[in-house]
Structure 1
Amino acid sequence: MTSIRERNKELILRAASEVFADKGFAASKTSDIAAKAGLPKPNVYYYFKSKENLYREVLESIIEPLLAASAPFNQPGRPGEVLKAYIRSKIRISRELPFASKVFASEIMHGAPHLSAEQADELNVQAKHNIACIQGWIDRGLMAEVDPHHLMFSIWAATQTYADFDWQISTVTGKACLSDEDYEAAAQTIIRLVIRGCEVEENAPAASEQVHRA
C-alpha cells in the first residue's frame, strides 16, 4: 500500500512537471505547484526542501526512463529488434511522461545548467554506447552506411516530438489527445522509416557480442 508520504511526493512531482513544463524553472512558483497538487505550500518544502531540489527530482524522473529505454542496446540482439524496441520505448516515454520530457528538453536547450555532472556523463556514455553498437552493425554489413550519430539524433527528434511539440501535433491532427492507435501508428511509421531507410537486415542472426560500454 502506498504511504501518505509517497502519495504526496508523487502528487507534488507530477504537478511540478506540469508547472515547470509550462513556465520554465525561473518563472515557476512553489505556490503554483502546491495548488496544482492540491496540497499546502509547506508540503513542497517539507518533502523537497527547495524549488531547485524539486526541479532536479523532475529531471531524475525522466533521466531514469531515458536510460532504461537503451536496455536493448546493452545485450546481444538483432539490429532490427534492438532498434524497434528502442523506438517503442522512446514513444512510450513521450506518451507517459510528456511534461517531464518537456522539462528535460528545455533543460538541454538552455545548456543543462541543473543537470549534475554524473547525470550528464551517464547519458553521454549510454548514447556513445548506442552509437558504437550501430557502427558495429554497419561494419558487419548488417545495415547501410549511415552516420550513426545522426541516425540517433533523428530517432530522438522523431520520438520526443510527440511530447515536446504536442500542441503542434494536436493542432494538425485536430485531436486534443492522441489515442492508442495514434501512438501505435507513430511507432510503426518511425520504425518503418528507420528499418527500411537504413536497409537493416532484420533476419540477421543475433550478435554474439555487443560493444562494451566505456
Structure 2
Amino acid sequence: MASIRERNRELIIQAASEIFANRGYAATKTVDIASLAGLPKANVYYYFKTKENLYRSVLESVIEPLLQAYVPFYEHTDPAAALEQYIRAKIRISQQHPHASKVFASEIMHGAPHLPEDISLQMMEHTRQSSALIQSWIDQGLMAEVDPQHLLFTIWASTQTYADFDWQITQITGKEKMEQEDYDAAAELIVQLVLKGCEVRSPVTTD
C-alpha cells in the first residue's frame, strides 16, 4: 500500500502533467497544480522544492516507460515480434500517460531545455541500438530495405498522435473520450502497416 508521501507525490505529478500539457511551462502556476491535486500549495514545494523540479518529475514519469518500450528489441531475434511489441508499448504510453506524453513532446519540440543530459543520452543510445538491430534484420533479408531511423520516426509519430491529438480524434469519432477498443484498433493498424509495408518476415527456425 502506497504511503501518504507517495500518494501525494503522485497526485501532484498527475495534476502537474495535465496543467503543463494544457498551458506550457511558463504559463503554469504552482497554485493551480495544488488546487487540481486537492492539496495545499505548500505541499508542492515540500515535495518538489521548485516548479522546475516538478516539471522534470513529470518528464521522468513518462521517460521510464519510453525507455522500457525498447526492451522487445533486445529480447527478440524475430523482427516481427520485436516491432509489434514496441508499437503496442508506445500506444500504451499514449493511453496511460497522455498528459505527460504531451509535455514530453512539447519539451522535444522546444529543443529539450529541461531534459536531463543523462536521460537524453540514454534515449539516444536506445535509438542507436534499435536502429542497428533493424539494420541487421534488413541485412539478414528479414525486412525490406528501409531506413531504420526513419522507420522509428514514423512509429513515434503514429503512436504519439493518440496522446497529442486526442481531442481531434474524439471529435472525428464522435466519442467523449477514447476507449480501450480505440487504442487496440490503432495498435493493430500500425502493426499491420509496419509489418506488411516493411515486408517483415520471421526467421526460419530448424528443429
TM-score range, shorter chain: over 0.9
- Deviation (angstroms), 1:205: 4.1
What is the CA-CA distance between 1:38 and the residue it aligns to?
0.2
Shift of 1:75: 2.5
Residues 143, 199 of structure 1: 8 Å contact kept: yes
CA distance in 1, matches of 2:77, 2:98: 29
Q: Which residue of 2 aligns with 1:204?
A: 203
Mapped partners of 1:47, 1:164: distance in 2: 28
Following TM superposition, by how much is the alpha carbon of 1:77 offset from its aligned partner in structure 2, in angstroms? 2.6
- 1:95 to partner: Cα distance: 0.2
Q: Distance in 2 between matches of 1:178 and 1:168?
A: 11
Runs of 4+ in 1 over 6 A off after TM superposition: none
The alignment partner of 2:190 has SS state of: helix
Pair 1:38-2:38 in alignment:
yes
Deviation at 1:168, TM superposition (A): 1.2
Q: Deviations over 1:88-125 (max 9, x none)?
A: 00000000000000000000000000001111101000
Question: Paired residue for 2:119?
Answer: 119
Q: Classify the secondary structure of the residue corresponding to 1:26.
A: coil
| Cα RMSD for the two superposed structures | 0.9
Deviation at 1:162, TM superposition (A): 0.1
- Whole-angstrom distance in 2 between the partners of 1:31 and 1:204: 56
Show the 5 A alignment for 1:150-165. Answer: 150-165=150-165
TM-score by length of 2: 0.97
1: distance between equivalents of 2:169 and 2:131? 29
TM-score by length of 1: 0.94
CA distance in 1, matches of 2:195, 2:183: 18
For 1:77 and 1:138, how far apart are their aligned partners in 2? Answer: 12
* Structure 1 spans left out of the alignment, 5+ residues: 207-214
Q: What CA distance in whole angstroms lies between the structure 2 residues aligned with 1:149 and 1:42?
A: 45
Tell me the matched-pair count: 205
